[in-house]
Amino acid sequence: MKEQYDIIILGAGLTGLTLAHKLKDSGLSILILEKEEKPGGVIATHREDGFIYEEGPNTGVVKYGEVAELFDELKDYCTPFIPDDAVKKRYIWKGYRWEKLPSGLKEGINTPLFSWKDKFRILGEPFRKPGDDPQETLDRLVRRRMGDSFLNYAVDPFILGVYAGDPSIIVPKYALPKLYNLEQDYGSFIGGAVKKKFEKKDEMEQKATRDVFSIYGGLENLVKGLYQSAGEDKFLFGVENLRVNPKREGFDLDFDHQGEILKLKANRVVSTVGAYEIPSIFPFIDQNDIDHIANLKYAKVVQAAVGFRNWEGPQLNGFGGLVPHIENRDILGALFMSSFIPERAPDGGQLFAIFMGGVRREEMYEKNDQELAGILEKEMKNMFGLHKFQPDILRLNRYQHAIPQYGKESGKRFETIAKLENQYSGLVIAGNLKGGIGMADRIKQATDIADALKP
């Protein structure tokens, strides 16, 4: 290990890994510091008794061309898996059954998910005036343009599935900028979507297929591929009590590692850590600025991997089902993992990823394993028609800082980060506290940073 580096990256999650991979041929000296003993953050794949299940994210979306390019760069290390069209089937729980989320005009007319009043109301959506409040929350936006039933049975479950969040907190300008810009740039969601469909796409936009993706063998193979491609000698794990302080030129870093206090220097520092870690790592930042960053709220989520070697429930064909908050159930939704990814369960079996908690049900995070197992038994018997609940695997993972919530305070957070990066030359504050929460967002952000840092 050297004492001086061109760039030190804090965190070896997907953002830090992608950034390290992108900078590997830049000629810059790079070191990645990680508090855990392995790369990948919460991404991990487990194999048990014929099941393959994920810890952390289960899938991503090719929403940027940068994702497709990364897969091409890593073709010697891992292979993306793109499910067939069955994955486009999404279900919403209403009343006592799963209803298919409509994917076209005919299904939209016939679906029981939305009221007839709102079905007729949607015809006028292209003619409604755009909103003029950039701080407008998602629930207000959807009610204004589409109606209550679309909010309750389309948008709310979508937000639960992506953010484990609450539409009355989420602000589209920050959390869903493409949706926000459809109204602002084109005047409506429907009109904007139609116009964009016929706009000429550049090469990168054509690569953004918006396909759901996984990785053959599990998402951990993406982590391993990035780790090996970036260069395993560039990583230092088990870093504790990290502190960064600016100097006239560059930064001093000190931290504990295996009982020693190490001191390093870097010309540039890129942080990819969570907002809640910023105060301790960057003690030089003014308290007022720290407050604007560290007040980011995270959803608390419990993820359950539930596997049945001999599935006795209904045939499942699709991506999964989401449960609107208005239905007052104890799960947020379930992904039918073995229905769209091969080899996730033994033949004749079924693997689920089931989610509980979120910002409106934080008490779920505090329940013990026995209580959570009881909830799963009740809900799965009721929602999947099971006579008995005897899964062959049931593994629970709790995430205190699962998903950041982009609410009204986000604008000030983004402004504060930009100010600090301008004030302290060489400092970059990245990660999911800005720029989006999905795997594709992390890859896009890291790619953009790498382009800016390369000589």
Q: Please report, for the domain that includes residue 399, its CATH number.
A: 3.90.660.20
Instruction: Write down which residue in 151, 183, 199 finishes a domain.
Output: 199
For residue 94, being part of any structural domain is answered with: no
- State whether 231 and 350 are in the same domain: no
pLDDT in tens, 20-54: 999 999 999 999 999 999 999 999 999 999 999 99
- State whether 230 and 267 are in the same domain: yes
Cβ atoms of 403 and 41 within 8 Å: the answer is no
For residue 107, being part of any structural domain is answered with: no
- State whether 338 and 372 are in the same domain: yes
pLDDT in tens, 348-381: 999 999 999 999 999 999 999 999 999 999 999 9
| Pairing of β 90-94 and β 97-100 | antiparallel
Residue 288: alpha-carbon gap to chain centroid: 28
For residue 60, being part of any structural domain is answered with: no
For residue 88, being part of any structural domain is answered with: no
Q: Under 8 Å CB-to-CB from 327, ≥6 apart: which residues?
A: 93, 94, 95
- State whether 284 and 410 are in the same domain: yes
- State whether 334 and 352 are in the same domain: yes
pLDDT in tens, 157-216: 999 999 999 999 999 999 999 999 999 999 999 999 989 888 999 999 999 999 999 999
| Pairing of β 30-33 and β 4-10 | parallel
Segments forming the whole domain that contains residue 440:
4-41+223-295+406-453
Q: Under 8 Å CB-to-CB from 122, ≥6 apart: which residues?
A: 108, 146, 147, 150, 190
- State whether 267 and 415 are in the same domain: yes
- What is the tally of structural domains in the chain? 3
- State whether 306 and 400 are in the same domain: yes
Residue 115: alpha-carbon gap to chain centroid: 31
- State whether 325 and 397 are in the same domain: yes
- State whether 344 and 399 are in the same domain: yes
Q: Which residues are 77's β-sheet partners?
A: none
- State whether 240 and 314 are in the same domain: no
Q: Mean pLDDT over residues 297-315, rounded?
A: 97
